[in-house]
Structure 1
Amino acid sequence: MRMARIFVSAAVVGILLAGCGGQNGSGTSSPGPSESVAAASNGVADLTAEEILTKATAALETARSYQFKGEMGGDDGLMSIDLKVDGEDVAASLVQAGSTIHVLVVDGQPYFKANAKFWKEMAGEEGAGMAKLVGGRWVKVDPDDKAFADLFLLADPREMLAVEGGVVKGESKTIDAGPAIALVSKEDDSTLYVATTGEPRPLLIVGPGNEGEVVISRFGDSFPEIKVPAESEVLDFTEFSSNP
């Protein structure tokens, strides 16, 4: 699934290097017994893999608010992910090997903040200085800056569930969130589980080799924590737009 790739390349490399240059509620879900689900009341199990993926994407768009939470494998080990989406507003936290980055998009305005280790690892010799300059504040960036455009992909269900190379249908089984059918990536064997009862929502992403899993839940919830940070907590970088 493209989800982990979006987080790593967009939120980390795209934001820091290009831009700055110089489960909650449902518990941990995991595949349950291998028993088949006898009936798929919403009918998606009878569709092709690509048709199921289309239905799942549409169901996520219809829900408008939801949470992705869990861990996914990466080059430096498991990455902890907590992404909340409320319409077009987003709050995301990523932690890997002690490096932390938070992303916030409210009313189309993006912000991010990172810990000192993250700055030092991603900005090389300038990292320590950037960490000292920014401190614990949010960095406000120009929403029209193309260097930061990938921030908005975090809230796009079509991008979150996009699969390079296509998917094939796996088996139907019951996971913690209920009956579901597996869609397996042809590229890396990561697996997306889609509900076969009720709305055909995506419920769970399992990483290649069963390394890490991300639960998709809290459909329709509100997230009051997604809000504009206090002015005293913001460092405005909008004047440093990289657009010509």
Structure 2
Amino acid sequence: MTAISRTPARRRTALGACVLALAAMVLTGCGDDPDAGTNGVGKLPPDTIQSRARAAADAAKDVHLAGTVVTGKDTYRLDVRLKAGGASGSVTAKGSAFRLLRVGEELYLKADAGFWKRAGDASAASKLQGKYVKVPQTDAAYKKFIGFTEKDVLMSGLLPLHGKLATAGHHEQGGIRTIRVTGDGGLGGTLDVSLEGTPYPLRLVRAGRAGTLTFSEWGKDFRLSEPPASETVDYGSSLPAS
């Protein structure tokens, strides 16, 4: 009889312990702070979060930018690494893909034969394909594409949101926790800002469906150098009209 009476007592004790543990888990979950262990910007007013993100972007020497930018009727797909002294990456527009390389003030464009044929230079397409073509600074193409290689120009033009700012909850981008800031409820764009370490911008949805961009590798240095002479073609004073 003694053995029989001990078993229910043990079961009641174990059951009670389980109930207490479950209650503790529930209470702890209810009290979770989504900003615990973060850099704290998630608790700031939205305009302050945006200004902190822009300041962080301005201070960083390097960044990897990828996504789409819509300007007028044109959509550009970018995958570019940027730094103060130049940039390297690819651009796709109107079905044509090409590479841009800027070292200092020198801008080079590299594309296949199809690109040059569409640009209006079928006769020289075989000579230009796969080569870095030096873009004359007086050419319209220089003015058109140089902006895709200038970090400060891109950041100042892309990052600002429009309209009344508000926060729109905690999210995640590339495995990093973020706080989202919106302009006019999202119509003026949305910006996801890192809650880990420096509050860098990590994802931007531009106002008016003008493209979506991601930012990564902030401050990660990369080498830039002019292409070797054997891979470079100096087209002259102007490029074919594109």
Category of TM-score, reference length = shorter chain: 0.5 to 0.7
Distance 1:47 1:82, change over 3 A: same
- Could you report, residue by residue, the CA deviation over 1:160-217 in whole angstroms, capped at 9, with x for unpaired residues? 3525772533413131342222234559654321123421211123467999853311
Counterpart of 2:64?
67
Runs of 5+ unmatched residues, structure 1? 1-34
* 1:142 to 2:142 alignment: no
Cα–Cα, structure 1 residues 199 and 158, in superposed 2: closer, same or farther, change >3 Å? farther
Of 162, 169, 178 in structure 2, the residue corresponding to residue 166 of structure 1 is: 162
Residues 69-101 of structure 1 show CA distances to partners (whole Å, capped at 9, x for unaligned) of 3x4376999864311123322002023575211
Which moved further from structure 2: 198-207 or 177-186? 177-186
Distance 1:222 1:159, change over 3 A: closer
Look up the equivalent residue of 1:191 and give its one-letter code.
T
- Change in Cα spacing, 1:184 to 1:88, as seen in structure 2 (3 Å) is farther
Structure 1 Cα separation of the partners of residues 141 and 76 of structure 2: 23
Tell me what 1:105 maps to.
102
SS at match of 1:219: coil
Shift of 1:239: 3.6
**Mean Cα deviation higher: 194-203 or 164-173:** 164-173
Which one-letter code corresponds to 1:223 in the other structure? F
Are the equivalent residues in 2 in contact too, given 1:194–1:200 (CA < 8 A)?
yes
Native 8 Å contact 1:111 1:139 kept in 2: yes
Counterpart of 2:122 in 1: which secondary structure? helix
Q: Percent sequence identity over matched residues? A: 23
Query: Residue in 1 aligned with 2:112?
Result: 115
Aligned residues: 201
| Aligned match of 1:218 | 217
- Tell me which residue corresponds to 1:204: 203
TM-score (norm 1): 0.64
Q: Tell me the equivalent position of 1:32.
A: none
CA distance in 1: counterparts of 2:131 and 2:218, whole angstroms:
30
Out of 51, 54, 58, the position equivalent to 1:54 is 51
CA contact (8 A) 1:137 1:235 kept: yes
Shift in alpha-carbon separation, 1:213–1:194, aligned structure 2, 3 A: same
Structure 2 unaligned segments of length 5 or more: list them.
1-31
The residue type equivalent to 2:198 in the other structure is E
| Superposition deviation, residue 227 in structure 1 | 1.7
Structure scoring higher RCO (CA < 8 A, sep ≥ 6) equals 1
CA gap 1:169/1:237 in 2 versus in 1, 3 angstroms = farther
CA RMSD of aligned residues (A): 3.8
* Alignment match, 1:91: 88
Taking the aligned partners of 2:53 and 2:105, their CA distance within structure 1 comes to 25
